[in-house]
Structure 1
Amino acid sequence: MTMFRACFVAAALLCATAHAGGVTVSLRTEAELSQPRFTLADIATLNCEQASDCKTLAGLYLGSAPRIETAERLSQPQLARLIRRLEPRLTKQIIWSGANEVTLTIATQTLPAAKLVDTARAALVTAYGEAGMSAASQYPETDIKLPAGTVSLHARTPDFPARERMSVAVSVSINNRFYRVIAVPMQLTVLAPVLVAERDLAAGSRFSCEQVQLHTTNVARHTGLATQAICDRPWRMRKPIAAGDMVTTAAIEPIPDVEQGAAVSLVADFGGIRLESGATALADGRIGEAIQVRPALSTTAIKARVVGSGQLQAIGK
């Protein structure tokens, strides 16, 4: 009898030891997630004999939330395998209860498309100015479904000439975490004065703003139109333009430091002796470029480097 009682006490102690620090995980039937990643505490109720065990298990990140308007299911065996990999120390102490599987969805909110359009329009104002600019939205949606959380919008300011139809990229962040980029199509009007030739302008001739009139037009409908901004420096015609046509940036070019056929100053060094003479440029050249020139009183061309406006340094034949 005494031996039987001793065995009973030993078994009771063993059982108590086995359940010491036990953890009960009660799985929910459904869980609506509010964060991009979810933990065990988001999908189950925990009951632990040791508070530290519950704290450890509750904070285990088990995966990413499903996409909007989709649902995912996780079963008890799947969760048990995840926990065994993430926290093997507590695996044997877990007692499962509740649902056999949990259905996961993500909490959503609705963002009016008008806020997206306003953000895109503000970026266009920054890029092209408010005066003379108007932008009509062509975005097809009225509302956008997003995950729950604090929404912030940031539009990429265009860094290219205005076009009549263009899209503005708007970045959407939820709780300061990037979520997605939405392209917002816009129809743009930018009224600005452009240069219109008063007379025929021949290729190779000098160009100045005294040869044009200002006409206001929608520059978003055209590409490469010249504006008053070019009037502060000298240009020459790269291509001919007929009277009444708009001047484009492709039709003009900056006057080079040395022009073909121009008289230039040529410097040559021979063993410490510096000689300077006149020459004729046989090609256009800009500072740093090497071109052919013909020295005065010579019929032979030599190579020289442009070092300044109308100035060249001889470098050989």
Structure 2
Amino acid sequence: MKTKYLPLISFIMFAIVSVSFGQQITVELKDSASLPEKEVTLGDIAYLSCSDADLLKKVHNVIIGNTPWPGNVRKIEKNIIASRLLDAGINPNEVSFGGSDFTMISVESITITGDEILQTAKEYVISKLAYSEGNEEIVVEAEKPPNDIMLPLGGGIMRIAVSQVNENKSSGRVQIVVRIYLDEKQYHKIPMYFTIRRYEDIVVASRKINRNDILAAKDIWIKRIETTNMPGITTFDRIEPLLGKRILYTIPVGKPITQNMVDDPAVIKKGEIVKILVKIGNLSILTKGVAKEDGYRGRAIKVMNLDTKKELYGEVKDDCTVKIIL
């Protein structure tokens, strides 16, 4: 009875072995693979063979993961592939591995150099600057050039947008942001810093000038200096308007002369005899007085009436007349 089953058992064993060998999957990893930005399949990174066409297709489409960012590489080892095969319902024990022990995946890319990004940002900064009249010179300096940027080849329509963090700032240190879009989706954001330096020919002190000095041509000259840190400060680009002005406080040599440093000289000196004018309706009264302080045209001054010895305040009208303020 036992001998009757031997041929049948031998046939079944032969059939199993034949199927097993017939469906053997061979995976030969490539040393490296450069791919478009995509989801990576086993067929992208290995040479595959299998006698079963459907099984071969299934193995080919096993998802391994995503391509790395442009400029980076991703290492895929055999144990990762075995795990992905198992996830796909394929027994890794039925797979014969060959070739490299791992493969290095990179993405096909194009490069935008740091110099190109820098030039684009610098042109934007220059286009936003307002030049004052005269001989102003503006220098735009980048603090640090950006690194090269790699984008996936065929990743979409590229657009570069540049903006300034503080749009109202036009001198000193400014922050610029460069954004790179692919098909209107932001792909990179690059912060950059520029220094905007301004230079002008302005009037400066040629020597130390003391408080209350009256400016003369020998006291000042025109010199080109950096005015970056003088926003909103009124300077002078000609000497003539300053001649005869009174200095309000001591100015060291080389310091720019600004509007808040000078004033018109006194037209009435303390102790001088002045005419005191009093107006009441159509009635005008004129008497003599003495200035109790220096007086400047259009400003109030304290005077004393010489007849009554009473001190009054009036407006300086000219170099000898004070109109009493009632």
> TM-score, with normalisation over the residues of structure 2?
0.46
The structure whose Rg is larger is 2
> TM-score, with normalisation over the residues of structure 1?
0.47
